[in-house]
Structure 1
Amino acid sequence: MNDPFKRLLLVEDNLADAGVLRTALSEVASTDFAFRLVHVEKLSEALQLLRDNSFDLILLDLSLPDAWGMEAVIRVKEAAATLPIVVVTDLDDEEVAIDAMRNGAQDYWVKGQINRSMLVRAIRYAIERKKADVQLQQQRERQAILHQVNVAVTSTLDLQSVIEILLNEIARLFPDFATTVRFLNQETGFFVPFACRNLDGEAWRTTAMRAGGGLANIVAETRKPLAIVDVQNDPRSRNADFFRAHGLISYLGIPLFVEDELIGVIAFYTRHPRDFTAEEVEFFSTLGGQAAMAIHNSRLYERIKAARDALEKALEVKSVLVGVMVHELKTPIQVIMGNAELLAEGICGELKPDQKERVRTIENGADELLRLIDSTLNMVRLERGKMALVATEVCVSDLLAELKAEFQSAFQRKGIELEVQLPPPESIMKTDRVKLKEIFRNLLENARKFTHSGKVTVEFASRDNDRVEFVVRDTGVGIKDDLLPKVFELFYQVDASPEEPAGAGLGLNIVKRLVDALSGEINVNSQLGQGTTFRVTLAREITSSSSD
């Protein structure tokens, strides 16, 4: 493939040497290698030309009137970092040659030793090597930029913050760019202006809303990036007056996709003519992909947060309503229990045996209903985080003795032995006594309900200086292995005997929540037909906490 026309800049103060090089280049010129040589004698003149013109290669002497040695190489590299430099000098010094290459030169020619037959190849190689170096450096820089942007935009899930960070990063990395972000309204199909940088935001939003989608619509329809060198005079531009007023010349629009769904367009504008290369379009498309994913995650987070807030509000209303209802139920239940007690004591007249039995049934039913109400109230308090911890010193022996006295008659009526092994009086815990007692009330009631013969045993042991263990063991019906993980679930019930009233499935769930609140854990193991064992491990000491 033929090389294009090459522009070479020769910086040489010796006119004779410059003439020799021009002659050598003319002799090797052909249709395969066409060139134009521009000659200057000073580095300052070369730097001025580099500012105003483009060249393919610079031939640089190291002994100039205004620059000497490596200074000349360094200054040229600073002025034109992507321009290949070939040093042409009288110095046949390997160390100087190496130093020149380290400072950015692509080749080192010694005057009088230039091989004319290799001249074209040397120039081509210098240009290609520099091009490869520049491309590699650009790739590294772009990868670093993508990494920086990705880290920045994933540092938060707030949509406004994500866009703000994205635009700030683009402005920092490309300070000459103006950037806009527009989101697609899925219901109307319009592109809504959301944010911009390096532009008059109010003027941009007003113009964007008045003119509609404009170039963004073309990006959306083609579903591809759109690059325009002169956006002010392009017939597709609807906002040419706005572009002229704000000095915007070139345009690159990138569609924002998430899983093939278009969510918006990010646009980049330059204030100098820029023909975006394929590599640049690919880079900005990748950047747009990162932005789209960050925006999608932010929107998803906002939807989840809104749904969570709505659910929390609904649960709060439900908890308040349930709490009020069950609290109001306690009064008529207590009235029923009070009157039943008066009847049982004969205050209203002596009752016959069968009448007494029916009154006792009323009392038992009312008592069961009152326990259900108390359990429901406890559940509501736990769900709402309204149950404070009041840590006091608790004598474990006294607490277990109270529980035995409270449950002894109920166990005797059912013909079950209740064995409570009391620890020494010095067994002390610092915990919430009320909640600790509630835990074992529920466990003992659960054991009584599912045990038809045999006994229920309560044991206590110190595991170490910081933990204690309670064990409630029964000889009841047991639980199937596949059902064990479910016993602490809310409203879950294992079938009891026909003589026992069905519960609401609250007791063991309340136990689990209370154990967690007391910095403990509870485990259960069981054998069907032989019984069940609950092990409760608790912190020996906890601190008080106030309710929310």
Structure 2
Amino acid sequence: MKRSARTRRLAGRRGTHPPASSRSKLEEQVTELVAQQAAISEVLRAIANSPNDLQPIFDAILDSATRLCRGDLGSLRLFEKDGFRLVAIRGNLDLLKRWKIPELADYSSYVSSVAASRRPSHVPDLAELETYHRGEPHIRGMVDLIGVRTMLVVPMFKDDELIGTINLGRTGVRPYTDNQIALFTDFAAQASIVLESTRRERQYREVQNELAHANRVAILDSSPRRLPTNLSSH
């Protein structure tokens, strides 16, 4: 018995595979997810291996963020009374040889203005910023000396308190995708959690040390005092 044309078309559809483009996109998504899981594992290992040392943790976060978000230069700055101090930097070593990144970004810097806005900033071309044309040293150095044109800066907060920024630059004008911006924001959240956990751990140790000291003092004060044995009797 011959099947109708409609039946043959339906049967053909049931037997077909997804288009090559769809399979390729799914494979890319799976690859990205695997890479992200591996990056999370790297950060967790750094935390486990260095519970009292933030530097290896910051380095692991920046390594993963720079690699997965395809940046050329990643940095992390902590907020202090004088400005934003550089505590970690990763990426293309050739760029770092051309220009020494300033250790401190003061309150007049681009990083500080982004932090004050309290929102992530994605600049497709730094050379179009007013601060660049005004001659702001940090932006001038990034653009003119090492060729970084696209920049992503994400402020880090804990309980609405500014604690620093995490930054990612690209040479040339190569804007980040929405997925890359979201992923980099997740890395900023990781760094915030690590900082807060370390702060709480230090506070806990300080309280424990103070309690131990208070107990020692209390024991000494409560111990009976003996008269000197060499006193002459009357």
TM superposition shift of 1:140? 3.3
Distance 2:206 2:172 in 1: 44
TM superposition shift of 1:252? 1.0
C-alpha spacing 1:256/1:154, structure 2 compared with 1 (3 Å): farther
Are 2:139 and 1:240 aligned?
A: yes
Match of 1:304 in 2: 204
Q: Which of 71, 82, 85 is equivalent to 1:192?
A: 85
Paired residue type of 1:271: T
Match of 1:219 in 2: 114
Match of 2:43 in 1: 149
Are 2:205 and 1:205 aligned?
A: no
Q: Which of 142, 160, 177 is equivalent to 1:277?
A: 177
C-alpha spacing 1:283/1:166, structure 2 compared with 1 (3 Å): closer
Paired residue type of 2:84: F
Q: Contact (CA 8 Å) 1:255, 1:264: kept in 2 or not?
A: yes
Count matched residues. 208
Paired residue type of 2:120: P
C-alpha spacing 1:149/1:131, structure 2 compared with 1 (3 Å): same
Structure 2 residue runs without a partner (length 5+): 1-18
Match of 1:252 in 2: 152
Structure 1 residue runs without a partner (length 5+): 1-124, 340-548
Which string of whole-angstrom CA distances, capped at 9 and with x for unpartnered residues, describes residues 441-472 of structure 1?
xxxxxxxxxxxxxxxxxxxxxxxxxxxxxxxx
TM superposition shift of 1:149? 2.3
C-alpha spacing 1:296/1:131, structure 2 compared with 1 (3 Å): same
1:285-304 matched pairs, under 5 angstroms? 285-304=185-204
TM superposition shift of 1:174? 6.8
Are 2:79 and 1:180 aligned?
A: no
TM superposition shift of 1:251? 1.0
Distance 1:293 1:273 in 2: 32
Distance 2:108 2:154 in 1: 14
Q: Contact (CA 8 Å) 1:150, 1:290: kept in 2 or not?
A: no
Please give the secondary structure, in 2, of the residue aligned with 1:204.
coil
C-alpha spacing 1:153/1:230, structure 2 compared with 1 (3 Å): farther
1:2-81 matched pairs, under 5 angstroms? none
Deviates more, 1:238-247 or 1:131-140: 131-140
C-alpha spacing 1:131/1:164, structure 2 compared with 1 (3 Å): closer
C-alpha spacing 1:159/1:313, structure 2 compared with 1 (3 Å): farther
C-alpha spacing 1:213/1:130, structure 2 compared with 1 (3 Å): farther
Distance 1:300 1:280 in 2: 31
Distance 1:278 1:163 in 2: 23
Please give the secondary structure, in 1, of the residue aligned with 2:86.
strand
C-alpha spacing 1:319/1:191, structure 2 compared with 1 (3 Å): same
Of structures 1 and 2, the one with the larger relative CO (CA 8 A, separation 6+) is 2
C-alpha spacing 1:129/1:264, structure 2 compared with 1 (3 Å): same
Q: Contact (CA 8 Å) 1:149, 1:166: kept in 2 or not?
A: yes
Please give the secondary structure, in 2, of the residue aligned with 1:195.
strand
C-alpha spacing 1:133/1:164, structure 2 compared with 1 (3 Å): closer
1:321-360 matched pairs, under 5 angstroms? 321-322=220-221, 326-327=224-225, 329-331=226-228
Paired residue type of 1:196: I
Q: Which has more radius of gyration? A: 1
C-alpha spacing 1:169/1:133, structure 2 compared with 1 (3 Å): closer
Which string of whole-angstrom CA distances, capped at 9 and with x for unpartnered residues, describes residues 46-95 of structure 1?
xxxxxxxxxxxxxxxxxxxxxxxxxxxxxxxxxxxxxxxxxxxxxxxxxx
TM superposition shift of 1:254? 1.6
Are 2:32 and 1:138 aligned?
A: yes
TM superposition shift of 1:278? 0.8
Which string of whole-angstrom CA distances, capped at 9 and with x for unpartnered residues, describes residues 13-63 of structure 1?
xxxxxxxxxxxxxxxxxxxxxxxxxxxxxxxxxxxxxxxxxxxxxxxxxxx
Please give the secondary structure, in 2, of the residue aligned with 1:322.
helix
C-alpha spacing 1:150/1:290, structure 2 compared with 1 (3 Å): farther
TM superposition shift of 1:322? 2.9
Please give the secondary structure, in 1, of the residue aligned with 2:208.
helix
Q: What is the RMSD of the two structures over their aligned residues, measured on CA atoms?
A: 3.8
C-alpha spacing 1:138/1:174, structure 2 compared with 1 (3 Å): closer
Q: Contact (CA 8 Å) 1:229, 1:250: kept in 2 or not?
A: yes
C-alpha spacing 1:195/1:159, structure 2 compared with 1 (3 Å): same
TM superposition shift of 1:170? 4.5
Please give the secondary structure, in 1, of the residue aligned with 2:148.
coil
C-alpha spacing 1:172/1:135, structure 2 compared with 1 (3 Å): closer
TM superposition shift of 1:288? 1.3
Distance 2:184 2:158 in 1: 16
Distance 1:240 1:172 in 2: 23
Deviates more, 1:172-181 or 1:229-238: 172-181
Greater helix content: 2
Which string of whole-angstrom CA distances, capped at 9 and with x for unpartnered residues, describes residues 181-223 of structure 1?
11223xx4833333323446x93235x44x5353323432332
TM superposition shift of 1:313? 4.3
Distance 2:87 2:108 in 1: 13
**Structure-2-length-normalised TM-score:** 0.68
Please give the secondary structure, in 2, of the residue aligned with 1:192.
strand
Distance 1:227 1:154 in 2: 32
Q: Which of 141, 145, 166 is equivalent to 2:61?
A: 166
